[in-house]
């Protein structure tokens, strides 16, 4: 496993890389760091070169300016990473915040992207999604911070389906993923990442996107319900929609990683010769 930094205009980007073969760049969700996709690295690094990085506001990436940071800035960071440590065009896979970065890469840097796979995504925040995220940002802006134990429970409900929350063994398996992201987060940095998500709007540009975009949604995802992912796929110029039953927003981590990874493998094998 290689670890290092890439210098970009806006940030010194901390990344990890492992494997050989065609490139897959994995982009974490908000509040997550580059080691979160370790199960996917283990499953795919024999056939692909896997790269992941810490997005602005999390992990060891050093940002050269204070927030706000629009999604375009996160995508620019990733584009510099791809140019310096990968052999483009690459496959990009991202969840949540990472999925918005995937969309923006496909829209703004199509020459770097072979296939885009956004998971748990939407084109713009409206309705409940907008109100919930705005309320979280507002709480942080008022200087309020959830206690770590409450934070883990709060975000677990938004991340995993009832099957997980009702099974003590499964809960103990996935709890570390939630805790790693949320139990001791700087509320200002959390708000900075989420503000970028709240303001992002790709809907009017998606019809012009010719990069193959395979949207993966999870049937029991409360944060980004499948209808929002379907809208992205249907709006994209070369969009495709997949929905996985019985899964929540974080089911790729600890719950059913093999099922999600196998779908990603199938999509890539059809697109990358």
Q: Which of 237, 194, 272 is nearest to 107 (CA)?
A: 237
- Is residue 183 over pLDDT 90? no
- Is residue 273 over pLDDT 70? no
Torsion of CA 230, 248, 255, 152, to 10 degrees: 140
At 102 the three-state DSSP class reads helix
Structure tokens at 62: 């050093």
As a whole number, mean pLDDT of residues 13-29 equals 97
pLDDT at 271: 82
As a whole number, mean pLDDT of residues 51-68 equals 94
Q: How many domains does the chain have?
A: 1
- Is residue 156 over pLDDT 70? yes
Q: Decide: 72 and 104 in contact? Cβ < 8 Å.
A: yes
- Each residue of 72-84: pLDDT tens digit? 999 999 999 999 9
- Is residue 119 over pLDDT 80? yes
- Is residue 145 over pLDDT 90? no
pLDDT at 144: 82
What CATH number corresponds to the domain at position 181?
3.40.50.1820
Structure tokens at 136: 């979280």
The dihedral built from the CA positions of residue 261, 104, 181 and 159, taken in this order, carries a sign that is negative
Structure tokens at 5: 């930094």
As a whole number, mean pLDDT of residues 40-64 equals 95
Residue 15 structural domain:
2-271
As a whole number, mean pLDDT of residues 164-182 equals 94
Cα 109 from Cα 105, distance rounded (Å)? 5
Mean model confidence pLDDT for the chain: 95
- Is residue 176 over pLDDT 80? yes
- Is residue 46 over pLDDT 90? yes
Of 3-12, 135-144, 233-242, 262-271, the one with minimum mean pLDDT is 135-144
Cα 257 from Cα 255, distance rounded (Å)? 6
């Amino acid at each position: 496993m290689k670890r290092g930094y890439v210098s970009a205009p806006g940030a010194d980007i901390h990344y990890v890389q492992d494997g050989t073969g065609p490139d897959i760049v994995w982009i974490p969700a908000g509040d997550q760091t580059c080691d979160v996709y370790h199960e996917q690295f283990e499953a795919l690094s024999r056939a692909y070169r896997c790269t992941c990085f810490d997005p602005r506001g999390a992990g060891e990436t050093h940002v050269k300016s204070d927030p706000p940071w629009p999604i375009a800035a996160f995508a620019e960071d990733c584009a510099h990473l791809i140019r310096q440590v990968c052999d483009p065009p690459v496959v990009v896979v991202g969840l949540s915040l990472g999925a918005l970065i995937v969309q923006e890469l496909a829209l703004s840097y199509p020459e770097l992207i072979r296939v885009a796979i956004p998971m748990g995504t939407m084109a713009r925040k409206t309705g409940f999604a907008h109100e919930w995220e705005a309320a979280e940002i507002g709480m942080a802006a008022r200087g309020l911070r959830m206690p770590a134990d409450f934070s883990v429970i709060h975000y677990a409900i938004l991340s995993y389906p009832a099957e997980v929350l009702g099974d003590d063994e499964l809960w103990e398996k996935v709890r570390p993923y939630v805790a790693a992201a949320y139990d001791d987060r700087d509320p200002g940095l959390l708000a900075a990442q989420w503000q970028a998500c709240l303001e992002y709007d790709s809907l009017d540009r998606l019809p012009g996107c010719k990069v193959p975009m395979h949207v993966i949604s999870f049937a029991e995802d409360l944060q980004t319900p499948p209808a929002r992912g379907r809208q992205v796929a249907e709006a994209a110029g070369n969009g495709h929609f997949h929905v996985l039953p019985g899964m929540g927003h974080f089911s790729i981590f600890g719950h059913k990683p093999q099922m999600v990874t196998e779908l990603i493998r199938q999509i890539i094998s059809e697109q990358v010769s």
